[in-house]
Amino acid sequence: MQNTAITTAADGTTLFYRTWGTQTQGPRLALVHSLAMDGAFWDRVAKELQDEMQILALDCRGHGKSGNAPGPYDVGLFADDLAAVLNHAGWPDSVVAGASMGGCVALSFAQKYPMRTKALGLIDTTSYYGADAPAAWEDRAQKALQGGMAALIGFQKSRWFSEAFQTNHPDIVEVAVEVFLRNNLDCYADTCRMLGQCDLRAGMAQMICPTEVVVGEEDYATPVVMAEEMARTIAGANLTVLPTVRHFTPLETPTVIAQHLRVLAQRA
């Protein structure tokens, strides 16, 4: 069963979130979506797990049904928003996992709120996009601002999904495209700039929470080398490379991702 709720961030921004599961006991799992998606990104994964645990997924600010507060943004702000949602849900702590942008937010949350992070899932993500990231992400922001979100669709689909998945599951691809096209342009640009500035490397060596790092073998957005670096730096982290899939593994292989999150909850 899915339910929805609304709360506000410290600055008054509306924060919308979904919950699955009816249990009041058992693991709690908080999920953060990819750039330009929303909390429904996790729906297929949550349906695999909803009978075993409590699950929560927010719409990050500037995304979905949450408020389109103006930037600038940073991942620490998004982590604080997650903390506000967890407070509203009455969750003192949880397993926290995110994909792509959501992985950056989850990693920031684990560093800012270590006592609230029982375990950490880093999926198709990175702690740092590289020295050229500010310019590369600004270029993407400008393409959206000048040509609209539709100008990026061809580029995005080839990075999100393998060719086989695009052919065999056009319905899932189309839903992702529809969510992408609904984005507020200014918020999208500000979030791109946030990712260009993201650098969470310094805090990883001090982290001690159980961590699972998962990445698609053909992920060109946050390639395997970035996942390897995180797994090397975070003590006790496990790394899994999923063959033949790309950047949106929660959509392309939801059962596999659900199993990794199940294992992560058992490690918490």
- Show the domains of the chain with their CATH numbers: 2-127+199-267 (3.40.50.1820)
pLDDT the model gives residue 136: 97
In tens, the pLDDT along 37-74 reads 999 999 999 999 999 999 999 999 999 999 999 999 99
pLDDT the model gives residue 210: 97
Does the global pTM surpass 0.85?
Answer: yes
The CB density around residue 185, as the number of other CB atoms within 10 Å, is 14
pLDDT the model gives residue 24: 72
pLDDT the model gives residue 26: 81
Residue numbers in the chain where pLDDT is lower than 70? none
In tens, the pLDDT along 84-119 reads 999 999 999 999 999 999 999 999 999 999 999 999
pLDDT the model gives residue 236: 92
Q: Phi and psi dihedrals of 235, rounded to 5?
A: -60, 130
pLDDT the model gives residue 25: 75
- Count, residues in the chain: 268
Who's near 227: CB < 8 A, 6+ residues apart?
122, 125, 126, 213, 214, 215, 239, 241
Q: What angle do CA 238, 119, 244 make, to 5 degrees?
A: 40
Q: Read out DSSP for 128-177?
A: B--TTHHHHHHHHHHHHHHH-GGGGHHHHHHHHS-HHHHHH-HHHHHHHH
pLDDT the model gives residue 14: 98
Who's near 240: CB < 8 A, 6+ residues apart?
212, 213, 214, 215, 260
pLDDT the model gives residue 258: 98
